[in-house]
Structure 1
């Protein structure tokens, strides 16, 4: 996780007005782009004949396509650099120790629960089924002409697991192969420690550069949102807004279920005093929600966990790892959004594909904390991997900012629960003595 993010965003007594002002301004741009996109799309749909509307939608989609190409451009180096640096910072697996093993065990369990909630709720609510889109009817030149998702099975997944060449994998954006290679590189670098320190520093510098590049790309999101909404409504009419409303409502309902499960696990592990933890972090959760940034809340959250009675040495260990490896809200969103896109195009993923999707998201959501709306990049990776229409990103991009607020707040709750649970497992979840500054 990038320390400079915290220094730029927050001071010890809270977030700076400058950064919050920029967040509010960006939110205004997002809202303005959303409203303008709806209005322009509706006017074009009502006033233009179908042939002209198709032409206008095609022209608007050029903007969205440019945004998608920029996202794809940074995917391979971003995943490689962020994952290698995150694993290398953990240290040798044999020396992580008792706390590290317990922390990663909780992260894995919480990740599985988050993804499962997203899968179950997306299947139950079917938020994209009403769209009835066809791949060959899309105007996006980067969209695939046909989907062969049905032909993808477990055998294909295993065949594509190990890269023949990392250069080939990078060139083709074969994300799972890049992840496998990155895990090996990161583990080896962690084992070599000082001998690989210069390489780790270089990779971390590359990661910082790719984070900044992604930040630049995401600054164009309002323009892409306008084009995506205007193009979709121009083609399909204002009725698509109702589908978006069901999508957003279904996602927040799913987040509510995930919160209930996390809080229940906290109470079972820590006891009734766990509810006091949720109460004490409520303002921090609201901060993350309002700014769409869980990083903005990090310094304040760390102090609140210590005040609750979690030793600083545990909170300072679990929380940074959680920001890289325990993005509960983002993981659930990726699952929900990918199935939404598949449903919108009438593509049904097989059980083997969903198992592969489960495993792919477990690893691709790791190490990209600190990237604004990084979930869009993860969704782009996954759509490419399963040969789903990449133009489907435009469907979720229009409401991504609204959903980003909820998943950022969820990440705060998930990491707070993780720190409290690990401290309890260590028998250290008691108010620390006044002299404890460890």
Structure 2
């Protein structure tokens, strides 16, 4: 295996996973032996994320050390995220209007997925509103936030702590060196975990294919094609223009990040590649302070692939139930999505929960989302890759 790069190994694992999944389609007993391999890999990845985010932010902020500089960086970052996410939402609506993926879908033949857990989350989060979202950013117990994998409060704490380290001058230097050591050690751990990536990918893909088979994809094939097409268009054109404006080429970036993009695509987890992206963007020439602040924050606020999916899925459900949405209704939908997508940051299955919350507030049937649940994993794969590329 050493002759082949990680990207090749992951691709081979993906193909093998599809073949094994197809062979054992519907045979849950055989697949049960493969499930733990994928689960172990995802657990190992999640284990790495928190220490890296905390250490990277503390080191970056303590190195910048200036509240004014940091405020400027934060302001620019969030403004950029807001603009790009709004463009992504608008593009999703445009694609749904152009291609009508929901028209002509026979609802009676579609299998319903179980979305009860998502519905509860959507209801709970909707009740929270904007004020509670802001309150949620400040952790009442930083260790509780770490245990829950909640990035927003962790980012807030790490930035404050980093400023504290900088403010204490020489006394803070040993703390800074400690976190620099933690960061280096965690990157070493990441490299070890990534060696197991092909096995994790093989297991995750085999389980997905064995569970759903090809049959479930055919009725919703148009939706899959439109989502994939729009997301690729966004990556090449919108992110391509952004890259050009900053003096780089989107295809150069894709080439540098090919392993991470394949891995995030196959695992449908952007967390799986967070440490490596930070490392590669620094090697590419971005400053440590910018990388350490922008990438973890982007994981919460800059989910462009998810934004395209959310607006497309909402209109898809409307079209499926023959509900005509006027231009005014669609503009309202855009604003509702802008708010709900920010409010759901850090919620498990966030994209799905956002669509549910949005449909509820727009008076569209929630059952429609249950019909997409079966293929959500396939859509999740591509939107995760674009989330990753957008942050880079």
Fold in common (TM above 0.5): yes
Confirm or deny that 1:204 pairs with 2:145: yes
**Which of 96, 100, 103 matches 2:74?**
100
**Which of 254, 259, 269 matches 2:235?**
259
Confirm or deny that 1:401 pairs with 2:351: no
Separation (CA, whole Å) in 2 of partners of 1:345 and 1:248: 18
Separation (CA, whole Å) in 1 of partners of 2:385 and 2:135: 32
Given that residues 114 and 331 in structure 1 are in contact (C-alpha distance below 8 angstroms), is that contact kept between their aligned partners in structure 2?
A: yes
Separation (CA, whole Å) in 2 of partners of 1:172 and 1:373: 10
Given that residues 324 and 369 in structure 1 are in contact (C-alpha distance below 8 angstroms), is that contact kept between their aligned partners in structure 2?
A: yes
**Which of 310, 313, 333 matches 1:334?**
310
**Deviation, structure 1 residue 384:** 2.2
Separation (CA, whole Å) in 2 of partners of 1:172 and 1:405: 22
**Which of 309, 318, 339 matches 2:294?**
318
In structure 1, the residue matched to 2:135 is: 185
**Deviation, structure 1 residue 411:** 0.8
Q: Which one is further off, 339-348 or 365-374?
A: 365-374
Q: Which runs of 5+ in 2 are unaligned?
A: 1-5, 28-57, 62-66, 152-203
In structure 2, the residue matched to 1:355 is: 331
Separation (CA, whole Å) in 2 of partners of 1:121 and 1:33: 35
The within-5 A match list for 1:420-435 is none
Q: TM-score, normalised by structure 1?
A: 0.55
Q: Which runs of 5+ in 1 are unaligned?
A: 1-13, 38-88, 144-169, 190-196, 211-218, 417-438
Given that residues 373 and 404 in structure 1 are in contact (C-alpha distance below 8 angstroms), is that contact kept between their aligned partners in structure 2?
A: no
Report the secondary structure of 1:128's partner residue: coil
Return closer, same or farther for 1:139/1:292 CA change in 2, 3 Å cut-off. closer
Given that residues 285 and 409 in structure 1 are in contact (C-alpha distance below 8 angstroms), is that contact kept between their aligned partners in structure 2?
A: yes
The within-5 A match list for 1:293-312 is 293-312=269-288
Question: What is the Cα-based RMSD across aligned positions, in Å?
Answer: 4.3
Confirm or deny that 1:281 pairs with 2:257: yes
Report the secondary structure of 1:243's partner residue: coil
Separation (CA, whole Å) in 2 of partners of 1:307 and 1:172: 40
Separation (CA, whole Å) in 1 of partners of 2:309 and 2:98: 15
Separation (CA, whole Å) in 2 of partners of 1:142 and 1:251: 21
Separation (CA, whole Å) in 2 of partners of 1:171 and 1:408: 21
**Deviation, structure 1 residue 346:** 0.6
Separation (CA, whole Å) in 2 of partners of 1:292 and 1:141: 19
Q: Deviations over 1:106-127 (max 9, x none)?
A: 1011101110110000111101
In structure 2, the residue matched to 1:113 is: 87
